[in-house]
Amino acid sequence: DMKVTQMPRYLIKRMGENVLLECGQDMSHETMYWYRQDPGLGLQLIYISYDVDSNSEGDIPKGYRVSRKKREHFSLILDSAKTNQTSVYFCASSPGTGRGAETLYFGSGTRLTVL
């Protein structure tokens, strides 16, 4: 069963704490993404990863970093979280090759609240 798994589903942190959001996929997809969704702004791309240790900034990378040491796993890290990073974070993956190469498969999202 094709799946993108995000952990945790809900997270509350205090300003200044470090945050780790985890994402896994079982489809051997090359490309993985982190987006955040805010009201009225749709999905904004934070980072894209084309494969292990091949990461590229998206449109809003400031305040975030990522790690991809295995193809099936992509982490988003917030060093010293800020209140304006309160959002819903979606991880996604895409095959990168073949039919439907560009199709994004999304995880269920992590709702992060920074107090």
Q: Does 24 bind other proteins (CB under 8 A)?
A: no
Among 10, 40, 69, 70, binds other proteins (CB under 8 A): 40
What is the Rg, in whole angstroms, of the alpha carbon atoms belonging to the chain? 13
Question: Which of 18, 83, 84, 97 touches other proteins (CB under 8 A)?
Answer: 97
Q: Are 62 and 81 in contact (CB under 8 A)?
A: no
- Residue 85 is classified by DSSP as G
CB-CB neighbours of 96 under 10 Å: 14
Q: Does 54 bind other proteins (CB under 8 A)?
A: no
CA 43 from centre of chain: 11
Residue 83 or 103 having the CB closest to other proteins: 103
**Residues of this chain that bind other proteins (CB under 8 A):** 4, 30-31, 33, 35, 40-45, 48, 50, 58-59, 90, 94-98, 101-104, 106-109
